[in-house]
Amino acid sequence: MQRRTFLKASAAVGAVASVGGYKLYTMPGAGQLVAASDDVQFLGADFPYTSVWAFNGQVPGPVLRYAQGDRLQIELWNRLRQPTTIHWHGIRLPNEMDGVPGITQPAVLPGERFQYDFVLPDAGTFWYHPHFATYEQIGRGLYGVLVVDEYPRPDVDQDIILVLSDVNIDERAQIMGDFKNLHDTSHAGRLGNVILVNGQKVPATLQAQPGSRLRLRVVNASSARIYKLRFHNSLPTIAAIDGHPCELFQAFEQLYFSPGNRFDFILDMPAGSGPLPWIEDDFFPAMRKPLAQFAVDNRPALAARGFFPGLPPNAIMAEEPDKAVGVVLTLEGGALSNKATREHVWLINGQGNSHDHSHMDGHGQSPEPLFTVEQGCTVRCIIDNRTAWFHPMHFHGVVLRERLKNGGWGPLRDATLVWPFTKQEVMFRADLPGDWMIHCHVSEHHHSGMMTTFRVVGGLCVSPRIDLPLLPRGGVRL
């Protein structure tokens, strides 16, 4: 438990539970998230406490758990020294609840409170985080997991949450304050020097019963780091991507996992004395990191399970790709580009925002919506990455499908990882009215120009179809 939280908890009675290796505290009150400074021990008991910003005194913040169709009612109380909000990442919700300051709501100023209130239409693994100066607020610890349980519940023995993140700390175990420096902004973003799983330095150790079936909900809450997950001694089944169930397939030997993404894995523990599974990140082959290792307890082994049938699908209206509105997003700028300047580090379709001006922290002076469509329209979007850097492009208010190598469309998700100097086509149905963001989930890129919006208006879908250039097949990586 965090030091300040312990002092507060000693004077109050609160229920404590555990999900996937980190604690859920009912303090400071049901239905409330308090964003405030606190102290944690990222590196273990032998190291100093680290000053952080946290929800309810813990990093990650408390797991919020609901059933599909429940109404979420959460009050945000801002006890930071700068404005903040909460974005409910991946949730299809009313526009005014999306948590984007300057676009869907005013920023919640220091000392103020804001009530979030909406119904949860989809089951799955989601997460929450600020949308004001996310490069610093996520980087200092403001993020948490939102689980929406499906019905019927799947037949698993253990439901484990793994939140991957990283933090940049000095020799005193304090977070370095050089956020949004020009080098990080123009390159791959701020990569921490310590990787965390559930708020503790890797590797995490996960206890399970021999022969048990596990559901692993893995969340990438890093500000910029892309992981390449490798499972050793096991090849689990992927049951959901970004919260949405998919056709079952085995995890590749290496699986790219970008900021904001979630995977739900089904993993069967060995019943005998064979080697135990463990998970590694080898995005940088010379700096491979073990992330989590599994251990078995001394309970008797469970009988082997049969085929896992999958998760029940969420009710998503079908797209109409042959009647789609066509849009092109051209991404430019960054290091090694002659389009980048100090004032406009990143651009979408030639539009940029000042890297140095703080109004971008709250999306002030954001450009007009890039395009407008009516409710129910299908949109096909080609993202043309003309930069030397990866861009995990996240779309608010919708779920996407990526165009696959064979020309078909992939499973539902809320972001697509666009590789350097490649093009990626995505498709989505625009069902919720309002202005919605599209942005790179490398936070430094987002707040230095790699963001735009689109507008969904009421009425019949009459927007003219725009022919898109044909893309060569290939290049799509899950």
- What averages of pLDDT result for each successive group of 10 residues across the chain (478 residues)? 42 35 46 97 92 97 97 98 98 98 96 98 98 97 98 95 97 95 95 97 96 98 97 95 96 90 97 92 95 95 93 95 94 91 87 60 74 95 97 98 94 98 97 96 94 91 62 39
- What integer pLDDT is reported at residue 473 of this predicted model? 41
State whether 124 and 164 are in the same domain: no
Whether 123 and 223 share a structural domain: no
Name the domain boundary from 149, 182, 212.
Answer: 149
Do 164 and 261 fall within a single domain?
yes
Residue 307 within any structural domain of the chain: no
Same domain, 138 and 240: no
Residue 474 confidence (pLDDT): 38
Same domain, 286 and 239: yes
Asked whether residue 326 falls in the same domain as residue 277, the answer is no
Looking up residue 176, the CATH number of its domain turns out to be: 2.60.40.420
Domain boundary pick from 117, 149, 181: 149
Shared domain check, 140 and 40:
yes
pLDDT at res. 335: 94
Give yes or no: residues 241 and 372 share one domain: no
**Domain span at residue 236?**
158-296
Q: How many structural domains is the chain composed of?
A: 3
The percent helix, strand, coil of the chain (3-state, each to 5) is 5, 40, 50
The verdict on 118 and 254 lying in the same domain is no
In a domain, 471, yes or no: no
Q: How much is the pLDDT for 187?
A: 96
Determine, yes or no, domain membership for 316: no
In a domain, 11, yes or no: yes
Does any domain span residue 281?
Answer: yes
**According to DSSP H, which parts of 70-181 are helical?**
134-137
Cα 300 to Cα 159, 208, 270, 297: the distances in Å are 19, 11, 12, 9
Residues 133, 259: one domain? no
Listed in order, strand segments (DSSP E) in 289-349 are: 289-296, 325-333, 344-348
Q: Do both 292 and 189 map to the same domain?
A: yes
